Amino acid sequence: MKYFVLFGPPGAGKGTQAGAMVERYNLCHLSTGELLRSEIAAGTPLGLQAKALIEAGSLVPDEVVVGMIESKFKSVKNVKGFLLDGFPRTIAQAEALDAMLSKNGESVTGCISLMIPDDLIHERIAHRANIEGRADDARPEVVANRVKTYHDKTEPLIDFYKKANRYHEIDGVGLIEEVRDRIFKKLDLL
């Protein structure tokens, strides 16, 4: 089983690229954002808790996200692996993922990191808010907090995965097809 972490700042194109990656490599796409949005839409207690945090631009607690991911690992069948999008976001989550996988003698296959500059992050998120109507993308102060949270809490994962020799950086600037080709060239080797 392969386990890929799809990494990058908000608006880097992770969601845009994930579908093609899933199709080409027979992966199950686990987007914590989508998992949480479905909980919010269903009005579950987890969803209500997550909604308040997301609207403030904060992260959902690790134990909640880790539990959702582990449940999906156990329940999804007939795939060659998983594409984790939005998880892990912190060193603690990466360590929890490693511990979860090592229980079954497995490990993260690779961290695919889509990188774009901060000015492009804001531009893409504003565009996404207009296209998809995502309220969490519409307020500049929430977006600014998400970018700051990414730099403060998530960027340390770069060194974490570099030390594990699992980090693969992809230039996320360019046409969707160009970025996709860069990703495929890397995944074909893993």
User: Average pLDDT, whole number, for the chain?
Assistant: 87
What local confidence, expressed as pLDDT, does residue 187 receive?
Answer: 96
Tokens 């929890």, located at residue: 96
- Residue-wise pLDDT for 67-125, tens only, equals 778 878 888 999 999 999 888 988 889 999 999 999 989 999 999 999 999 888 878 88
Segments making up each domain of the chain, as ranges = 2-31+71-184
CA quadruple 41, 20, 166, 75: dihedral sign: positive
The domain made up of 2-31+71-184 is a member of CATH 3.20.20.150: no
Long-range Cβ contact pairs of 161-166 (< 8 A, separation 24 or more): 161/5, 161/7, 161/94, 161/108, 161/111, 161/113, 164/108, 166/108, 166/109, 166/110, 166/111
Q: 91 by DSSP, 3-state: which?
A: helix
Q: What's the confidence (pLDDT) of residue 137?
A: 63
pLDDT in tens, 14-26: 888 999 999 999 9
Cβ contacts of residue 101 below 8 Å, gap of 6+?
A: 3, 107, 108
Predicted confidence at residue 42, as pLDDT, reads: 84
Distance of CA 127 to the CA centre of its chain: 19
- Structure tokens belonging to residue 95: 């360590």
In this model, does residue 33 exceed pLDDT 80? no
138 pLDDT band (50/70/90 cuts)?
low
Q: What pLDDT was estimated at residue 23?
A: 96
- Which pLDDT score, from 0 to 100, does residue 153 have? 81
**Residues recognised as catalytic:** 14, 89, 128, 134, 146
Question: For the residues 16-38, what does the mean pLDDT come to?
Answer: 89
pLDDT value, residue 45: 78
Q: What's the pLDDT tens digit per position in 45-63?
A: 777 887 888 788 777 778 7
